[in-house]
Structure 1
Amino acid sequence: MKQHTTKKWTGCIILILFLILIAGFFLSFRAKNIIISGCDHYTQEEMKDMLFESLFDNNTILFYMKYRYIGLKDIPFVQKITVKREGRNGLKIKVYEKTLVASIKYMGEYVYFDKEGTVLESSQEPVGGIPNIVGLHSKGFVLYESLQVKEKDIFAQILDLSQLLQRYNLEINKIRFNDQKEVELECNGIRIYLGKKDFYDEQIAALSEILPKAVDQKLKGVIHMENYTSGSEVILKCIE
């Protein structure tokens, strides 16, 4: 009986010591200083909530081991994530987002593609800063494959135009193609008519000089650039 009691107490002491060691491990390597960079689509808090899903993730060693040997969860619009430990309680997380140039709406979803026309993501809600193409019709899509569209003749033009808008940091809401394949842009209550051309480089370069200022001043109106030539004046006709 005495021997049984001794074994019982020994087991309890071992268990208590083990729990103390576990608690010490979690407290000593608790993730206190988390630096997240590279986020545009998500805020740092949103990214943190998605990455740190459990109690174990709040330990710098366990989180780093998960990153190295298991892999972090897939997050929409994120290409990859790298993690570095910074001291005992720090983590430095670098987010590499997918480079999206435009989207089309298909079967109630926004389908996003890159400059090569490869589908990278889809979502129920639109993403700010990424233009939606109106007048382009998809035959269907598969992630990480080329977007299948009916209007193949203008798709290359759409890709070029989308890249131009990104180059000049113009946040366009919609790029619209009519039946005559003429281009119209929409940006916060301003409509820009570009007409039908093979290249829009000069028009977009000139537009970049006036559009951001008009948006900052919350102006509404129309800009006609169908007959624009290099050096021409760009005029916004305001609408009350």
Structure 2
Amino acid sequence: MGFPKKLMIAGAVVLTLLLLAAGIAFVNIKEVTVVGNERYSGKEIEDRLFPDKKSRNTAYCFFKEQWGEHQQIPFIEDYKIVFHGFRSVEVIVYEKSIVGYLTYMSSNMYFDKDGIVVESTSRQLEGVPKVTGLDFGHIMLYQPLPVENQQVFNDLLTLTMSFSNYGMKVDEIHFDSRRNVTLYIQDIEVVLGDHSDINGQISVLNDMLPQLDGLSGTLYLDTYDETNTSMMYTFKKK
């Protein structure tokens, strides 16, 4: 008596899947493409996620991506590995939104737009301003910065968004006890005062920076008036 036709088909399918799985078990990832990364180079991300032969095994990587835990990488919120065949993957990186950092106990404490400390490191990230003048207590990783006035984080977010719109690199943002702001850009000190119109002040600053290139001194934009388009601003050389 022969085997039923359906049973033979099912057996063939199972055998094919077993052979396919056995074949994949010996296939390794050869090509890695990284997108969404700014804090790290593509090579740095690749080296972290695929440091050895085991991690490059296609089957191992697939099951780890589906059911395993992702690595914790500083300044990275999460990542996703997308397979494009058995030998090629794309790593999509989702970076944390960093607005500034404080120096605390010889470390740079980076925080996001909500004031949450997301990383402590000796590394200094390019394009992230140092924030000074804030009074705070004991700082803990992954906890909100213990500052008295939480409104300061809204100020920081508005400032950093304005910097980003103009491609402006600011070295330091200083707050005094009344939340008056002073910026430091290379050898230029920029007094914004109560920054009641940050966007307008940053727009004026962006227009003036090329004229101040190579100079050292203080630019006073605390007198900014959006209704006075012919306003002259004081720059005092050191």
Q: Distance in 1 between matches of 2:90 and 2:168?
A: 31
**Which residue is equivalent to 1:47?**
45
Stretches of structure 2 lacking an aligned partner (at least 5 in a row): 1-20
Structure 1 gaps, min length 5:
1-20
**2:219 maps to what in 1?**
223
For residue 78 of structure 2, give the secondary structure of its aligned residue in structure 1: strand
Summarize the Cα distance change of 1:152–1:124 in structure 2 as closer, same or farther, 3 Å threshold. Answer: same
Q: What is the distance in 2 between the residues matched to 1:52 and 1:238? A: 54
- Contact 1:223–1:234 at 8 Å: present in 2 too? no
Residues 24 and 177 of structure 1: is their aligned pair in 2 closer, same or farther, counting only changes over 3 Å? Answer: closer
Matched, 1:88 2:81: no
- Distance of aligned partners of 1:152 and 1:228 in 2 relative to their CA distance in 1, 3 Å threshold: same
**Does residue 38 of structure 1 match 2:36?**
yes
Higher mean alpha-carbon deviation, 139-148 vs 38-47, is at 139-148
Which aligned pairs between 1:150-189 and structure 2 lie closer than 5 A? 150-152=148-150, 154-179=152-177, 181-189=179-187
Answer yes or no: is the 8 Å Cα contact 2:181–2:191 preserved in 1. Answer: yes
Partner in structure 1 of residue 189 of structure 2: 191
TM-score, normalised relative to structure 1:
0.76
Question: What residue number does 1:135 align with?
Answer: 133
Shift in CA distance, 40/235, structure 1 to aligned 2, threshold 3 Å: farther
> How far apart are the structure 1 equivalents of 2:215 and 2:58?
49
Q: Which moved more, 1:89-98 or 1:136-145?
A: 136-145
Percent identity among equivalent residues?
A: 26
How far apart, CA to CA, are the structure 2 residues paired with 1:48 and 1:236?
A: 50
The one-letter code sitting in structure 2 at the alignment partner of 1:106 is Y
Distance in 1, Cα, partners of 2:69 & 2:184:
40
Q: Distance in 2 between matches of 1:71 and 1:234?
A: 58
Letter in 2 for 1:71: E
Amino acid aligned to 2:64:
K
Q: Which amino acid aligns with 1:101?
A: V
How far off is 1:203 after superposition? Answer: 0.2
Report the alpha carbon displacement of residue 154 of structure 1 after superposing the two structures with TM. 4.3
Q: Sort the Cα spacing of 1:184 and 1:24 in 2 relative to 1 into closer, same or farther, 3 A.
A: closer
Whole-Å separation in 2 of the counterparts to 1:118 and 1:112:
8
> Which residue pairs with 2:60 in the alignment?
62
AA paired with 1:176?
H
CA deviation string 1:188-223 (max 9, x = no partner): 332222123334221012223343x469x6555542
Please name the residue that 2:3 is paired with.
Answer: none
Deviation larger for 227-236 or 32-41: 227-236
Closer, same or farther: CA 35–104 of 1 in aligned 2, 3 Å: same
**Kept after mapping to 2: 8 A contact 1:102/1:133:** yes
Alignment-mate amino acid for residue 225 of structure 2: T
> How many matched pairs?
216
2:77 aligned partner: 79
Written as runs of structure 1 = structure 2, the 5 A alignment for 1:202-213 is 202-211=200-209, 213=210
More helix by share: 1
Cα distance, 1:233–1:38 mapped onto 2, change above 3 Å: farther
